[in-house]
Amino acid sequence: MGRFDSRVAVVTGGQRGIGLAVAARLCEEGASVVLFDLDEQALAAACARLDASGARAMAVSGSVASAADTARLAEAAIRRYGRIDILVNNAGISPKHGGVRAPTATVDPDEWRQVLEINLTGALLCAQACLPHMRRQRYGRIVNIASQAARMVSAIAGGHYAASKSGLLSLARTLALEGGPDGITVNCVAPGRIMTPMAAEAGAAANAKYLERIPVGRLGTPGDVASAVAYLASEEAGFVSGAIVDVNGGSYMP
């Protein structure tokens, strides 16, 4: 039997990178997974990779920044599986311009708003959509995918990205305080340099500089993050709430 037999997990930004790795790990250990992302075709392909039968993986397309879309996401999960046990807030963007972040002092206000809406407000809207179902069950696990950029200054991530990911830490603590009496834990994973499609956009030179500062001598993989998420999403982590788990190979040590 798997750790997540009979559990239902919602994973945002689930069609590639960390989100897909998390969904795959949860599915491998018995969970039914609901992937949420904008790209409908990529979502369908991701679901087929996770579960060819289609019984334990479903796709819902939409934007985390839309309250209507996130409500529809929760409704679809409940209609298909009858419950929501796990929410992984992974969807996020980190805009670059020619491979370089915009200086915070001159960042376009519309770009700033877009990053905050997707990375931070999106996590709030997804939590608001899923929490009523978790409260009824008196059980839930929420994991926010933050970033090392929320823990220390980053020369590559923009100020809007860092601010949004820092906000996820405080959002998790607040939700952990409010959700605890109903059996709901809320935690954050803060990945360091993980080789995802988003990280690759920064270029080989930038990633080589990151590697120089990682004591374990390698860049991270989406699977490294998925392992941490799987623990926090499990029953074994029932006494862990409001925590930040750094997954960075030692490049940041609080």
CB under 8 Å to 72, separation ≥6 — which residues?
A: 60, 62
Q: Residue 103 has what DSSP assignment?
A: P
Identified catalytic residue from 81, 161, 231, 252: 161
Catalytic, 139? Answer: no
**φ, ψ for residue 87 (rounded to 5)?**
-125, 125
Residue 38 CB partners (closer than 8 Å, separation 6+): 61, 62, 63
Rounded CA-CA distance 139/185 in Å is: 8
SS3 24: helix
Q: How many CB atoms lie within 10 A of CB 54?
A: 12
Amino acid at 103: P
Per-residue tokens: 152: 């220390």
**118, containing H or E segment:** none
User: Would you call 114 exposed, middle or buried from its count of C-beta atoms within 10 A (0-12, 13-18, 19+)?
Assistant: middle
Q: Active-site residue numbers?
A: 161
